Structure 1
Amino acid sequence: MAQPDTTAFDAQLAEAVDQQRRRILRVGAAVRVAGTFLFLLIILAMWLSGRHDWAHYPLPLTVYLLVAAGLLALHDKPYVHWLDVAQSLVDVGLIFWVQHTALPLSRFPPGIAGFSLGLFALVVVLSSLTLMPGVVYATALLAAVAEAVLMREADVSYGSVTIASVVLLLVAFLSQYGGQRMRQLAVAFTRTEVERQVEARRFQEVEQARGTIERMLGEVRAQNEQLLTLQRDKDQLIQFLVHDLRSPLSALSMTFSWLETELAEADLALMQGVRTGLAVTGRMERMISELLDLPRLEEGKLELRPQRIDTSSLFEEVRQAFVGAAQFRRLTLEVEATQGLVLHGDRALLTRVVENLVANALRYTPPGGRVRLETGLEAGAPYLAVRNDGPSISEELRGRIFDKHVQGEQERATRKGYGLGLYFSRLAVEAHGGRIAVEDAPGWGTSFVARLPTTPGESTRVA
């Protein structure tokens, strides 16, 4: 597990240490004031009792008491903090001055020098309250020098001077080391507590995020269920509507069939119109079947009815159905089929595939253009192609044009179609084990090519 970032924690810790240092220095300032006042009272009592060798102490102690009291009163000011740090060095200087002055007047100079060692040790301990090792050791060194000078003036041996210096350095080390170790221990405990709280907060956030995700997933599932229900209802409604369209369409087809049998062959124009009507109604019936078959194709449940299909007759049937529309748009609708080429497949499905491709080509081919229905063999496998010299399809659209509800720019602009024709064509071709795609062909803007496998059943030529 990655360690938490402690940068902010270190900054907060440094601020906390600084706050504690200011509080401790305030305590040190208060101790100096109280200690100096107590010493002054004792010295005044001894001086007034007739001990004239203490006469030189009251004045410097009174001055020092006033300075220490002033520092204590101004302790909250930022600049006073640095004076507190320097105060330990001032304390050493004051003790040295007072003891150096008292030394010639004392009847026992070594005692004055020995008493100074205790005062210097007290100052070193007070300097450790700054929580700054440099200040502590600087105070100890200065005190050791001052003590050595006093002891030599009192004619104390060098051995005692050395021992006194070592004692002051040991006092500095122990004072600083103890405080440092306590600080490190506090930091360690604080870091551990911070990491524990961070981990607990992280776990809590993860649990909250997991709960949020589960709630959102539940809402999404509920919405999906509603959408699926609406989709099923919509599909069922479409199925009902399409199914109900068959009855009037069948009646219309029967009427055209009756007219075809009753009309005389001499009336060619009227007969052509009737036959066109039959072709159109037949195509509409196949479109209705397409809508009904689409859900089963999507689920892979549509059962194919394979049979031998003569591609020439299939293309001629489609051409007859669209020749009127092609003439209306001033388009040339031509057929190029390999004679005798036979496919094995579901004729109704493949007819609807070709019709969808032709309808798409007529829609996009400009007036005066050509649309070709083409079939043949390539690498031993049959193909069905519908080509036109209209605008080409962009590479970006080619990859998804056979998806459901995908439409070209013209269809979206005119709101014609629902993007199901090419989608149905892909499903129908794939149901036969083939594939359909937009391919490039010389001389043609757009070519839809459906390639069918040679099995089951091989494509052959009729003898």
Structure 2
Amino acid sequence: MIESGESLAELLTHVWHILPFALLFALPVAVIGGLVLFWLRRGSLASTLTVLVLIPVVATLVGVLGVSGFMFTPALTTMLVVCLLVAAVTVPAAIVLGRAIARRSVWEREARDRERAAEASRRELVAWISHDLRSPLAGIRAMAEALADGVVAEPSDVAGYANRISGETARLSAMVDDLFELSRITAGALQLTLSAVPLHEVVSDAVAAQAPLAQQKRVRVLATAQTWPVVAGSDPELARVVRNLVSNAIRHTPPDGTVAVQLGIDGVDALLAVDDACGGIPEDEIGRVFDVAFRGTQARTPEPSGGTTGGGLGLAIAKGLVEAHRGRIGVRNHGQGCRFEVRLPLAAR
């Protein structure tokens, strides 16, 4: 027992003597590793994890070599082989793990960005809709109270108030319809029954439906076609796309202006173009035209007093419906206004 105690004491004494030398050789490696990590602070996560794994391995190697005086004994050789095996296993694992964590981090960051953008869009939508709902509701309430209190008694005035209430009610109904359609699109609940749809019928019906608005604004609506394509789609949804685009063009075209609807075929797609005379869209706004509730009007002709500007959902709905048909929609400044282009896949012959 005494000899074992003496051997343990000698071992502890030996370790105590070599500890400063081990620290002397290992500490510079740790400092250099820390500097490398600081330099890589904006680099890839895989590189950072690789350096983190290499620092203790290299520090161990340097410390063992320094303490042994670079005398390659069997024990030292065994230690070096073990360290190299550890490095061969941990470094690839660190690279794979770092890339996996980096991909997950990027995905989470993009998800947070999308969530923030969606939340901002929802807040903007609520603000716009709240404002747009208050205006017609206030008018309906005021006119209803005037009729109920007998303030308006002349038959012609009563009929005028009734017509205005009917108009404001129709406006509210259209806004609710837009909200319902947008909710179906964003929730992925939109189910299309595809068939061969002749676009000339869709365009003709849409232009006819927007004729009263065009007459009120004194805007000409012209529809021309190089050919009348047939597309694979759902008739009601395609009709809504064309109505929204034509209505948007009419609202932003000044009196005595022209809205041109053109049809043609471009390769394997049917091409629908709607040109207006809005004066152009600012470059910093053109990328947000299809955003929910966005209504930039800096370079557009303002609505006349009492005009209806809509809820800012028409273009967002059109974009969602076009994409549901596996089509594409875009906008660019063209001539005296802007051009909305819709590309839809042609129906199989």
* Higher normalized contact order (CA 8 Å, seq sep 6+, divided by chain length): 2
Structure with more of its chain in helix, by fraction: 1
Normalised by the length of structure 1, the TM-score is: 0.36
Normalised by the length of structure 2, the TM-score is: 0.47
